[in-house]
Chain A
Amino acid sequence: MKVLVPVKRVIDPYAKVKANAEGTGIDTTGVKFEINPFDEIAVEEAVRQKEKNPAITITVVSVGPEAAEEQLRKALAIGADEAVLIQTDDELDSRAVAHELAAFAQELQPNLILMGKQATDNDANQAGQRLAAKLGWPQATFACAVEFAGDNLTVRRETDEGEETLSLPLPAVVTTDLRLNEPRYIALPGIIKARSKPLTKRPRLTDAKPLVRTVKVEQPAPRQAGVRVNSVAELMTALRDRGAL
């Protein structure tokens, strides 16, 4: 049983970000990079499944710059078996990434691809669904519980109204939501220890171009703070005067 977990190197999701001077992208000076938190949940989930079923092997893959080795090492430290970096400095969109991942999946032939529902830098929420479509596999997005059931997978997923449970034949693509699990804490020694695990670097597998290009990045206009009211009565009067009630 092979599980593939794609991970993205993203700007620290808790850092204060601003546009670069040219207004063409995010200013990355002095900012830390992390594994996309939703992808980290996917790695954690794969490792928990492996803890239940040692026959599982976990491959993590990243499509990105050389520095993404850092995030792959972290995934190895959490418990993945091997890592592959499809190394590129190209600006890619979800479509191009899905093409790279599909080509890699066709080679690796995993039974399951587990990945974040979205990356916290561009918040696109597309790569998993596009990958599933390209491979012709079923998908379960926004997963909050995953269980293998023979040749099928049972996924509880979040919906706009609540929850639903899906049964999917493998191979399948599952994208993870926040509640799926809480990733374990990995101390630095663990990351150093993971240095003995295999990490392969290779060039891009396709020549897929991005179809979506960012032409401008800007700070949104700040919302003006309003007034302080001193009592519920004052608040109610203000809301009534404004026609809000």
Chain B
Amino acid sequence: MSLLLIALNAADAQAGAGFAQSFGSEFDVLVLTKGDVPAIGARQVFSVDQADLAPADAMATMVQGQLGNYTTIAAVSAMWSKDLLARVAGLVDAPMVTDVIAIPAPGQYLRPIVAGSLLATVEVDGAPVFLTIRPAGFAKPEERANGSTSSLGAPSNGVTVRTNKSASQGGRPDLTQAKVVVSGGRPLGDAATFERLIGGLADKLGGAAGATRAAVDSGIASNELQVGQTGKIVAPDLYIAAGISGSTQHMAGMKDSKIIVAINTDGDAAIFQIADYGLVMDLFEALPAIQSALD
């Protein structure tokens, strides 16, 4: 039994480290872009010499060549990992389980289905087993020295060409890895207000800004900020939901947060059913007051 953890970069390797250390065997890590690799206790570190992740066809062919005899190939759940790992699993016709939150017994995987309304335990046939995992369900990693490091050349070109790339997170920590997430819904009204109240508080707390699908759909927040079943799955230490009623869709993306604060004028909003601290108040009053209390 052996594990290959595939990580996009250093932060992603760190995010997957708790899972890898608790897996119950030695593990190697394949980091797909160049940069420092954190001390996570990998037996061997493979680092790919490229600044940006190549498109899935080129990457999948490369990763296929690195599968060796590993029995489990895992990465933290993200859009890039679902894109890539499912293609590699297809290339080698092996089983894959997405969004694993726990391993209740060897060979069994627990995962949410139907937007987190239910939990399914699945078993797999065949090897290797490909997994995308959600780190919140696994132990926190310890700092441990890595073994040897080898550098791998950039992948050969595939037929897909990237012609443009844009990122718009503006210096805030990655939403899925931030310790604090401040999220807003449609009541924020417009993009400037969202940025001032949600972004402003996120910055005060050193956290990331998140949004509901409704806020994204109405142009208040950009799409990569969407938290929910169809957006990002987050589990920070502190999640502040302002002007969010708590659709199943949204709650599927944040209900594993350690502490949830809900601020909403509607005291009957569903979000209060899962909040540790509920404040029935207008967010336009509450958020500036919280910001000043932090000064």
| Alpha-carbon gap, A97 to B241, bound state (A) | 38
Docked-complex contact A216 and B120, CB < 8 angstroms: yes
With A158-B79, A228-B278 known to touch, is A244 a contact of B237 (CB < 8 Å)? Answer: yes
Docked-complex contact B281 and A232, CB < 8 angstroms: yes
- Of chain A, the residue at the smallest CB distance from B64 is A133
- Of chain A, the residue at the smallest CB distance from B56 is A139
Min Cβ gap A9→B in Å is 14
Q: Contact string, A162-199, partner B, CB cutoff 8 A, digits 1/0? A: 11111111000000011100000000000000000000
What residues on B are CB-neighbors of A21 within 8 Å? none
Docked-complex contact B112 and A225, CB < 8 angstroms: no
Docked-complex contact B261 and A235, CB < 8 angstroms: yes
Q: Contact string, B255-295, partner A, CB cutoff 8 A, digits 1/0? A: 10001110000000000111111111100001001100110
Query: Looking at the complex, which one of A17, A160, A212 makes contact with B78 (CB distance below 8 Å)?
Result: A160
| Alpha-carbon gap, A225 to B267, bound state (A) | 13
Min Cβ gap B91→A in Å is 5
| Alpha-carbon gap, A242 to B259, bound state (A) | 9
- Of chain B, the residue at the smallest CB distance from A209 is B125
Docked-complex contact B98 and A126, CB < 8 angstroms: yes
A contact patch SS: mixed
- Of chain A, the residue at the smallest CB distance from B91 is A133
Interface size class of A (residues with CB under 8 A): 35 or more
Query: Is A77 interfacial (CB 8 A cutoff)?
Result: no
What residues on A are CB-neighbors of B60 within 8 Å? 133
- Of chain B, the residue at the smallest CB distance from A167 is B161
What residues on A are CB-neighbors of B82 within 8 Å? 125-126, 129, 141
| Alpha-carbon gap, A205 to B98, bound state (A) | 26
| Alpha-carbon gap, A18 to B255, bound state (A) | 18
- Of chain B, the residue at the smallest CB distance from A218 is B119
Query: Looking at the complex, which one of A16, A230, A231, A233 makes contact with B117 (CB distance below 8 Å)?
Result: A16
| Surface stretch bound by B, among A52-60, A63-71, A115-123 | A115-123
Docked-complex contact A161 and B122, CB < 8 angstroms: no
| Alpha-carbon gap, A177 to B162, bound state (A) | 18
Min Cβ gap B79→A in Å is 5
| Alpha-carbon gap, A161 to B279, bound state (A) | 31
B contact patch SS: mixed
What residues on A are CB-neighbors of B72 within 8 Å? none
Q: Contact string, A129-141, partner B, CB cutoff 8 A, digits 1/0? A: 1111110001111
Query: Is B83 interfacial (CB 8 A cutoff)?
Result: yes
| Alpha-carbon gap, A164 to B57, bound state (A) | 15
Docked-complex contact A165 and B164, CB < 8 angstroms: yes
| Alpha-carbon gap, A154 to B56, bound state (A) | 15
Docked-complex contact A162 and B169, CB < 8 angstroms: yes
Docked-complex contact A211 and B223, CB < 8 angstroms: no
| Alpha-carbon gap, A175 to B121, bound state (A) | 26
What residues on B are CB-neighbors of A128 within 8 Å? 86
| Alpha-carbon gap, A245 to B56, bound state (A) | 40
Q: Contact string, B155-170, partner A, CB cutoff 8 A, digits 1/0? A: 0001111111111110
Query: Is A239 interfacial (CB 8 A cutoff)?
Result: yes
| Alpha-carbon gap, A107 to B226, bound state (A) | 39
Q: Nearest 6 CB-CB pairs, A to B?
A: A133-B90, A130-B90, A129-B86, A226-B276, A211-B95, A161-B167
Q: Provide 12 A-B residue pairs closer than 8 Å at the C-beta atoms, listed in order of the A residue.
A: A17-B118, A124-B96, A133-B91, A138-B160, A141-B56, A158-B79, A162-B167, A164-B165, A166-B161, A166-B163, A218-B118, A227-B278
Instruction: Give B residues with C-beta under 8 Å from A.
Output: 55-57, 60, 78-80, 82-83, 86-91, 93-99, 108, 112-126, 158-169, 174, 176, 205, 213, 222-224, 229-230, 232, 237-238, 255, 259-261, 272-281, 286, 289-290, 293-294
Given contacts A121-B114, A129-B89, A223-B273, list 19 more A-B pairs with CB under 8 A. A18-B117, A95-B90, A95-B95, A123-B99, A129-B87, A130-B87, A133-B87, A133-B88, A139-B83, A161-B167, A166-B161, A168-B160, A211-B125, A212-B96, A228-B272, A231-B281, A239-B238, A244-B237, A245-B205
Instruction: Give A residues with C-beta under 8 Å from B.
Output: 11, 13, 16-19, 26, 93-95, 98, 120-126, 128-134, 138-142, 144, 154, 158-169, 177-179, 209, 211-220, 223, 225-233, 235-236, 238-239, 242, 244-245
